[in-house]
Chains A and B, each alone.
Chain A
Amino acid sequence: MDVADRTQEFLARLDSGHKIEAEDWMPDAYRAELIRLIRLHGISEIMGTLPEKEWVPRAPTLYRKLALMAKVQDEAGHGQILIRVAEDLMAPLHQNREDIMADLFAGRQKFHNVFHMPVPTWADAGLIGWLVDGAAIITQGMLLSGSYAPYTRALRRIVEEEGFHIQHGESICMALAEGTPRQRAMFQDALTRWWPSLMMFFGPPERSAPGGAGAGSHQRANLRFRIRSKTNEELRQRYLTKYVPRIRALGFSIPDATLAQDPDTGAWTYQPPDWDLWRRIIGNGGPRSADRLELRRMSYVEGQWVRDLLSSTRKAV
């Protein structure tokens, strides 16, 4: 069977609901899409620890501090799990996590737009837990039915833990919403600050994806390979349906005068975020991109002796 026939057979198998394992034959394009997606997810979990950990020393109570530390630890663990899944896919290319880290430091590995942003107040930290993790779980819940078994197995564990993260974030935001006028104002400011980033979270709809005509090819390829089952825009619509009523119920206002839901179709219209700005942010041009990359690099370099000590061929130190 030649590659074209094998690919047809593979696609037919995906269409019948068959799941793929790491060592199965797969078309190069399937492997490439998975590596791209899982590397991005894994390294975003790792980089995602950095904005939140800024609030560990400043959490308002011991309870909140412990919960936030547990969450940060979970995110680092998710990064470990996901990078392991990516490594098995990268093995035929003779690459592993060290190549991912090198690519991150050299600006060749992107991470999620939200983790390039500043976290100036405790309300921002709570908002990340509630509304950023809430967005993440919408994406990950959709990916749970994906065709690549090792990734969906990893996601099952991750989604279970994210459930705690959302409640943790909700609890912080609820306390602020029920708090003093100053606490409410702090949350409103955080929401106003984060709204454009939240609208960017799921990525551009296909029509304005980078590259113009024929764009959004990763979305389309991932749909064809049954790695994902919904488009960026479908996820964003689902997110708005879930969270806009909750935000409004707490009496906060969303900084988008055009935001409206069609009563018949349920579809939302909204002010599209600046996708050029999004491209600049994920190209490490965000307000905190350089600082966070530098912190990650410093911790990687300073931790080298630990990895050396733990490696199976011990070096004299």
Chain B
Amino acid sequence: MTNPGQSGETVPHQDFGVYEVFAQTQPLGAMEWQASLMAGSPQMALSLAQQNFLRRRQIYGLWVVPRDAIAKAPTDPTDPSHAADALFRLPKGYRELSDYHYLVSKWRQYQQQAMTPDTMA
């Protein structure tokens, strides 16, 4: 057995891969990133994830994903294809509920009209 660190500047690296850990902490919740860890197999990664990150809380689902399997959009805003670029610089209310809130007052208006004494007579 070699003495780590005493022989030279470099040490052989263990053949572990990086796994990203996702867990569902509410029965109807989304899978949420928790942590990353190193493991030699998915089974080992699951076991480490439970022991290291989730032993204090009830969880409903657990994923470990090899980091290599994740394609990521760049987060650096100086990168021309960074993640925030997915927000198109166009009006986008057409797909938001807030653009349709006026319908509530419209309906209220129509209901009140319908219930005036004139129309009820």
Residue of B whose beta carbon sits closest to that of A108: B5
B77 touches A18 (CB 8 A): yes
- Cα-based distance from A13 to B77 in the complex (angstroms): 10
B3 touches A301 (CB 8 A): yes
- Cα-based distance from A308 to B53 in the complex (angstroms): 23
Q: Is the C-beta of A136 less than 8 angstroms from some C-beta in chain B?
A: no
Q: Is the C-beta of B80 less than 8 angstroms from some C-beta in chain A?
A: no
Residue of A whose beta carbon sits closest to that of B9: A102
Q: Interface with A: B13-21, B96-104, B105-113, which one?
A: B13-21
Q: Which of A260-317 contact B (CB under 8 A)?
A: 297, 300-301, 304, 307-308, 310-313
Q: Which of chain B's residues have a CB closer than 8 A to the CB of A256? A: none
Q: Which of B10, B16, B37, B55 contacts A80 (CB 8 A)?
A: B37
Residue of B whose beta carbon sits closest to that of A315: B15
Closest Cβ of chain A to B96, distance in Å, is: 25
- Cα-based distance from A106 to B55 in the complex (angstroms): 34
Q: Is the C-beta of A54 less than 8 angstroms from some C-beta in chain B?
A: no
A-B contact pairs, 14 of them (CB 8 A): A24-B75, A80-B37, A81-B35, A84-B35, A98-B13, A106-B5, A106-B6, A108-B5, A297-B4, A304-B1, A308-B14, A311-B40, A312-B15, A312-B40
Binding site for B on A (CB under 8 A): 1, 6, 9, 13, 18, 21, 23-25, 73, 77, 80-81, 84, 87-88, 96-99, 101-106, 108, 154, 157, 161, 297, 300-301, 304, 307-308, 310-313
* Shortest 8 CB-CB contacts between residues of A and residues of B: A102-B5, A105-B5, A106-B5, A24-B76, A21-B75, A311-B15, A312-B40, A311-B40
Binding site for A on B (CB under 8 A): 1, 3-6, 10-18, 35-41, 44, 51-53, 55-56, 72, 74-79
What 16 new A-B contacts, CB under 8 Å, besides A80-B52, A98-B4, A105-B6? A24-B76, A25-B78, A80-B37, A81-B52, A81-B53, A98-B12, A101-B5, A101-B11, A301-B1, A301-B3, A301-B4, A307-B14, A310-B16, A311-B14, A311-B16, A311-B40
